[in-house]
Amino acid sequence: MSNQKPAIPKGTRDFGPEEMSKRNYIFNTIKGVFQKHGYAQIETPAMENLDTLLGKYGEEGDKLLFKILNSGDFLNGIDPLKMQASGANATSLLLCEKGLRYDLTVPFARYVVQHRDEIKFPFRRFQIQPVWRADRPQKGRYREFYQCDADIIGSTSLLNEADLISIIDEVFGKLAVRVKIKINNRKILAGIADYIGQPDKIIDITVAIDKLDKIGMDAVMQELQLKGLEVQSIYKLEPLFAITGDNRAKLSQLRRILQNSESGIQGIEETEKLFGYMDTLAIPSETELGISLARGLNYYTGTIIEVKALDAEIGSVCGGGRYDDLTGIFGLKDVSGVGISFGADRIYDVMNNLNLFQAGSKTASKVLFANYGDKEVKYCLPLLSQLWQKDINAELYPDPVKLSKQFSYADSKNIPFMVLVGEDEMKEGFITVKNLFSGEQQKVSSVNEIIEIIGQKN
């Protein structure tokens, strides 16, 4: 048999011990802030029924869903001719009834509807799990990545938005990542579509506007023309991009321009109220009204939030928004929710590039017991056990190899202390403890003395 080459699927990654300790630092930080704000953790399965997932993320999203082939004889009852005729996409729906989740929000909506009788609203939940997208990998873009979601569902209050923004600010503050929080409102975008007289083109308009920073106004207008917008309508957009000043000034200019659009005014009022709350909370992060911010899945209906890292070129590190009727499709009407999602993998990339992870803590062990052979090991095991009982991270070298090897093992793992018990120690009844950083070495006679030397803390 030929050797098979070890490999993992495109766009997925292994995480080694060092990466995991950094990743856990991020996860624990986010989790801690979520819990501080009263959110409770849930988990949902990696796979959902395809009909739960399909149609929630737009046409593009559906294409990016990983589908799971049915078990058993999945060809049973499938007509090959029909298969050929209907094409790959339609056929996949005959062969697959499950798919990997694409985000955490839709499974959450499903969860809320399914468990509505057990849930006390308003419900604050958080969820930290991987999601999968059959996208083509790129920088900061993976096929398997973790999202850290916090949502509050069953309340329309803008206090919830303010709460989530405060969470964003705290998380990035703790992680020492400088960010800009951009805020917009889908109703303002709808107002813009109203204003230029093309309310039916809101999706095309928002998608194009979203690229303003990147490709410039001319290119945006060109794209809109391609999408079939009237030239006249497109020119009406111009004054919108000319608004300037701080957030409040921008909002009042917008109010004048969109005065005839009901949803536009509503969006402006919501946003003004939200900025009011944020002022009261005194959020230290930079926050900005960005009417060019449109990204977001089709289900957002109100506030839209996006967070960019200031010191790194990478997509957004956190995004979110309000969705008024996400649960409606599962049969639970009139339940509004708002949520955010941290992209842990991107945050990791940013922090790694900026060297924001604290050095050290590379190892778990504080002490390595040298292994001189069976007799000595038997003598050491009770000592080791006592250290464990004192919650001190310690390990015994498993094989009686020559000492220099055991020393370099400790070196490479940054283990600060070694305990040496050989023939001499056993004969005379003492224990040698060596500090590998200073090279200092001393003889002690009890576990307590060992602890004293190495210090309690791990």
Partner RNA sequence: GUGGUCGUAGCUCAGUUGGUUAGAGCGCCAGAUUGUGGCUCUGGAGGUCGCCGGUUCGAGCCCGGUCUUCCACCCCA
Q: Which is nearer to RNA, 251 or 380 (CB)?
A: 380
Minimum CB distance to RNA, residue 317 (Å): 5
d(CA 365, CA 396): 10
Structure tokens at 387: 């250290």
Q: Is 297 in the site for RNA (CB under 7 A)?
A: yes
What does the per-residue mask of binding to RNA show for 25-64, with x meaning CB under 7 A? Answer: ---------------------------------x-xx--x
**φ/ψ (deg, to 5) at 68:** -110, 125
Paired with 147 in beta bridges are 129, 343
Minimum CB distance to RNA, residue 424 (Å): 3
Q: Is 412 in the site for RNA (CB under 7 A)?
A: yes
Q: Which is nearer to RNA, 357 or 417 (CB)?
A: 417
Q: Is 207 in the site for RNA (CB under 7 A)?
A: yes
Q: Which is nearer to RNA, 39 or 369 (CB)?
A: 369
Q: Which is nearer to RNA, 227 or 273 (CB)?
A: 227
- Count CA atoms within 13 Å of residue 425 on its CB side: 20
Report which secondary-structure segment, H or E, holds 129.
Answer: strand 123-132
Those residues whose C-beta lies under 8 Å from the C-beta of residue 176, and which sit 6 or more positions away, are 356
Minimum CB distance to RNA, residue 134 (Å): 7
Binds RNA (CB under 7 A): choice among 139, 248, 362, 378? 139
Q: Which is nearer to RNA, 109 or 268 (CB)?
A: 109
Residue 328, sorted as left (phi over 0), alpha (psi -120 to 50) or beta, turns out to be alpha
Q: Tell how strand 417-420 and strand 367-369 pair up.
A: parallel
**φ/ψ (deg, to 5) at 219:** -65, -35
Site residues for RNA, window 79-138 (CB under 7 A)? Answer: 103, 133, 135-138
Site residues for RNA, window 331-350 (CB under 7 A)? Answer: 341, 343, 345-346
Q: How many beta carbons lie within 10 A of that of residue 279, not counting itself?
A: 13
Q: Is 429 in the site for RNA (CB under 7 A)?
A: no
Q: Is 14 in the site for RNA (CB under 7 A)?
A: no
Binds RNA (CB under 7 A): choice among 46, 54, 436, 453? 436
Site residues for RNA, window 241-270 (CB under 7 A)? Answer: none
Q: Is 311 in the site for RNA (CB under 7 A)?
A: no
Q: Which stretch binds RNA (CB under 7 A): 153-161, 162-170, 240-248, 407-415?
A: 407-415
Helix, strand, coil % over all residues of the chain, rounded to 5: 45, 20, 35
Q: Which is nearer to RNA, 272 or 345 (CB)?
A: 345
Report which secondary-structure segment, H or E, holds 425.
Answer: helix 423-428
Structure tokens at 350: 């940013």
**φ/ψ (deg, to 5) at 180:** -120, 130
- Do 104 and 30 touch, CB atoms closer than 8 A? no
Minimum CB distance to RNA, residue 415 (Å): 8
Q: Which stretch binds RNA (CB under 7 A): 110-118, 191-199, 380-388, 408-416?
A: 408-416
d(CA 246, CA 69): 52
- Do 372 and 423 touch, CB atoms closer than 8 A? yes
Those residues whose C-beta lies under 8 Å from the C-beta of residue 217, and which sit 6 or more positions away, are 238, 241
d(CA 328, CA 342): 25
Q: Which is nearer to RNA, 79 or 213 (CB)?
A: 213
CA 393 and chain centroid, separation: 30
Q: Is 211 in the site for RNA (CB under 7 A)?
A: yes
Binds RNA (CB under 7 A): choice among 24, 49, 408, 442? 408
Q: Where are the beta strands (DSSP E) in 160-273?
A: 179-185
Minimum CB distance to RNA, residue 60 (Å): 4
Residues that bind RNA (CB under 7 A): 3, 5, 7, 9-11, 58, 60-61, 64, 103, 133, 135-143, 145, 147, 207, 210-211, 214, 295-297, 306-307, 315-319, 341, 343, 345-346, 372, 402-405, 407-408, 410-412, 420, 422-425, 432, 434, 436-437, 439, 441
